[in-house]
Amino acid sequence: RDQPIDALGGGARGRASLISRPCTQSGRRTARAAPPNRRRAGAYVLPFSQLTSLHTFVIMSGDSRDNAGQAGKRRSSWFGGCRPASMAPAMALLSCVLFCLNSELLQALQTHTPAEERRPSPGLNLLLCHLGGLVFAPNFLLSTAYDTPAVSPGADYKTGLSAMLSRRPRLCALLFALLLMGYNYCWLLSAGFLAASVTTALFQTSVGMVYAMSVPLFGEPLTFLRVLGIGLLILGSMLASGVTGDKFHNSAASTGFGAGLAFAFTAAVGVALYQVLFRHLFGQWKHDVRFLAFFGAWISVWHVLVILPLLCLSSWWGFEALVLPRGHLAVGGSLVAAVIASTVNTLSLCIALWGSVMLLPCVSALSVPLMLCLDMGLHHVFPGREELAGQVLIVLGVVLVMDLAAQLVGGRDAGLGLGKMVLFSNRNEFDV
């Protein structure tokens, strides 16, 4: 523990949680121990001066959220005095609103585009929506700042394949580009066999998948109220989307019902893996804004270098014709939709690192009642009793999963008695 951290050369290879300066030296900044009631063995907050060259924080103590707060305050020059964790809820709400507005825009384009104009093919439209990171590409295209294994702070606590991927973010961005394109395209394929509302309801099962993976990976406590909230979210999505009504029976009677179910669940697994793997592999870069821009840029670059040729091959094989947009409304609307979608994708990367584990999937579920509000306000379409009950269940499920009731009453541990019924907890010391 008395070994100094090598912040300038290879410091990322050391276990920062086990390294500390002695606390008895006078006249200089030293490590500060965590509060006695929260302190764990071998857990200290390292001096800020020892970590500035790493452009990130490897802060660990008994309560990782307190340390994240200290790190955020010290990095005020990056975030204008605001902690990233405090910005995540606002970003999540903004991404939800933009997603719903973009859905309305795409729906309007399908309805009002003149017959002489031509909309882009689904694959090309998805590709355009994932090219927003090219704005940052000139700064990072030839950069190797994040491609050297020795400069991945905190990555040494990972082993095997996860360690290799976390230390090579440029190559790993290709995996995430394929994953991003894959689960979105599976959603489109599922909507071709099933009603879009049925596909949306099945897609919301990703909330439960994220929670199931976050328990062993991030140490999320497995509590009764959270499990109940997950169940209410999925049930509410099904009721709100009319899965239990005629739409589901009509879809079940179709010939491609099984394929539609398979594509919908594949899309749910894909989006869950996208969120959880990004947080697991690159949580150590959560306080480095440049890394988010770097990673987003390379996701877009890989779309151009790999996915665009794959779309051309699929068109040549006759799987899906590559259709370019034609006409002022089709071209302009497609570009606006691509800009909004790229903004949502960028916000999603920030939320995945800066927010809690369940923030992004819960906000995604909230898009269902928000779309209902837009339908009532713009299209004068009002829900039935079953759909309205589903919307209420979704909101109640989000409250339970995010533990909002306990926080409003008086903190995380001041909520209902059932909220303290922890069925399983394995919280990692590493705050990712």
Q: What is the pLDDT of residues 81-98, one digit of tens each?
A: 567 778 888 999 999 999
Confidence (pLDDT) at 74: 40
Of the two residues 234 and 375, the one the predictor is more confident about is: 234
Average pLDDT of the segment spanning 55-67? 34
How far apart CA 331 and CA 236 sit, in angstroms, is 37
Rounded to 5 degrees, what angle do the CA atoms 48, 4, 16 make?
A: 65
Dihedral sign for Cα 330, 331, 334, 340, please: negative
Q: What residue type is 207 in one-letter code?
A: V
Confidence (pLDDT) at 423: 52
Average pLDDT of the segment spanning 39-45? 38
> Is 233 in contact with 204 (CB distance < 8 Å)?
yes
Read off the pLDDT of residues 315-344 as tens digits, 9 standing for 90 and up: 999 888 999 999 999 999 999 999 999 999
Confidence (pLDDT) at 406: 66
pTM: 0.72
Tell me the backbone φ, ψ of residue 26, rounded to 5 degrees.
-105, 155
